[in-house]
Amino acid sequence: MPMHGDLERIYADVLARNPGEREFHQAVREVLESIGPAVDKHPEYADAKIVERICEPERQIIFRVPWEDDRGAIHINRGFRVEFNSALGPYKGGLRFHPSVLLGTVKFLGFEQVFKNALTGLPIGGGKGGSDFDPKGRSDREVMRFCQSFMTELYRHIGEYTDVPAGDIGVGSREIGYLFGQYKRITNRYESGVLTGKGLNYGGAQVRREATGYGCAFFVEEMLRARGESFDGKDVVVSGSGNVAIYSIEKVHQLGGRVVACSDSSGFVHDPKGIDLDLLKEVKEVRRERISAYAGERGGDATFVSGRSVWEVPCAVALPSATQNEIDEADALALVKGGCVAVGEGANMPTTPAGARVLQEAGVAFGPGKAANAGGVATSALEMQQNASRDSWSFAHSEERLRDIMTGIHARCFETAQEYGMPGNYVAGANIAAYARVAEAMLALGLV
């Protein structure tokens, strides 16, 4: 889709002001290519420079994180928190601990988070953070010392009415526990709502661990229903084997689909009879081993393929749930050739622009991450709600709330795409619906 002329100028300015940040550039371009019709329909947004303001974070925080390992050696990492937009509520978004984390990575994730959070309909703004620290191979005590040092700086920038971080890649319940403990120690406040993804025994919410994967499956179910189809009897391929992938697999199986392949960074397993979820959880969540161990123990027709793309396995539904830009043009062509009819992005921006174009031109129902994987942040907002009221909901009630939210997100995307003359284009529907909601709030709040 060609970009609106005024938006081309804004995009050129984004490139000039943020050199070298390719993922951020990609995320901005994907939005600006979609929202031209909304810009034409609402000239008041242009007068107020809404797009320019949305593309510039309200605050970017970078800090040093010194810590000591078990041998007494000192390490220095870099911490980030990008508080992107708070027009709809306190900044909300995860923390990522991974060696690949740079400022541009965090800005891309934070920008996406603004739109994702707007689509939920909940009162939360967008932000993101993290560090180039790698928790893999580190002892619990090393991770604790790093988290305490990280929070010793971060605590002054967050709060339940200001900025509410959560987990992301490399930040699970262990890391959230250490971070919350240090926040409580420094502030002398048991402010449960300052972090989400907490353990159930100290303010966490049911379904939070499962939420992103479950929500993605619910969204794809709605896309299939809009086409008069369902998961019943369909082969599904899921990339990754972490939290999002595992719980996508679990919910797909409950909805009648059969996941026949999943992966990790070493390769993928193909199990034509359907992934044994209990074994996968044992291998990845308990023993933290490579995915090849699954094939070795599963036996039968299950095979491990090293160093190749999981997208070569034919499927009707694909759920990319690992990391950004994992489906390129060649992968997308392989999916189309293999009979894929729907793709739901469980990860953040896992499809390259060329890959997304191939899928959309082939008529594949394509659910972008800002819509399809919004279940995680939606359930984080529900955790905030429970913390604020000193309440705790059942698993069944929490899952029903999640399903309602994902159904609502699908409806917003679907109906907005139709309203703007692009039926079935979930990318345009998601971007325009989210942009309009944030823009209206920014107009109401004035030039701030």
pLDDT in tens, 89-114: 999 999 999 999 999 999 999 999 99
Question: Does the structural domain 211-372 have CATH classification 2.40.50.100?
Answer: no
Query: Class assignment of domain 59-202?
Result: alpha beta
For position 323, what pLDDT does the model report?
A: 86
Which residue in the list 41, 49, 107, 128 is annotated as catalytic?
128
- As a whole number of angstroms, the distance between CA 140 and CA 207 comes to 25
DSSP-derived secondary structure letter, 312: G
Residue 152, annotated as binding a ligand: no
128 is catalytic: yes
Residue 281, annotated as binding a ligand: no
Does this chain's domain 59-202 share its CATH topology with 211-372? yes
Residue 26, annotated as binding a ligand: no
Residues 6+ apart with CB under 8 A from 158: 81, 164, 165, 183, 194
Contact 343, 367 (CB under 8 A): yes
Residue 201, annotated as binding a ligand: no
Handedness of CA 151, 157, 162, 168 (dihedral sign): negative
Residue 149, annotated as binding a ligand: no
Contact 336, 360 (CB under 8 A): no
For the sheet with 74-85, list strands across it.
Answer: 59-68, 74-85, 126-131, 91-97, 163-166
Domain definitions of the chain by residue range = 5-54, 59-202, 211-372
Residues 6+ apart with CB under 8 A from 340: 315, 316, 317, 318, 359, 364
Sequence-ordered alpha helix ranges (H) in 155-268: 173-187, 211-226, 243-254
For position 260, what pLDDT does the model report?
A: 98
Residues 6+ apart with CB under 8 A from 133: 65, 77, 97, 99, 146, 150, 170
For position 165, what pLDDT does the model report?
A: 98
DSSP-derived secondary structure letter, 284: I
- As a whole number of angstroms, the distance between CA 42 and CA 439 comes to 10
pTM: 0.93
Residues of the chain predicted below pLDDT 50: none
For position 1, what pLDDT does the model report?
A: 62
- As a whole number of angstroms, the distance between CA 256 and CA 319 comes to 15
Residue 184, annotated as binding a ligand: no
Residue 284, annotated as binding a ligand: no
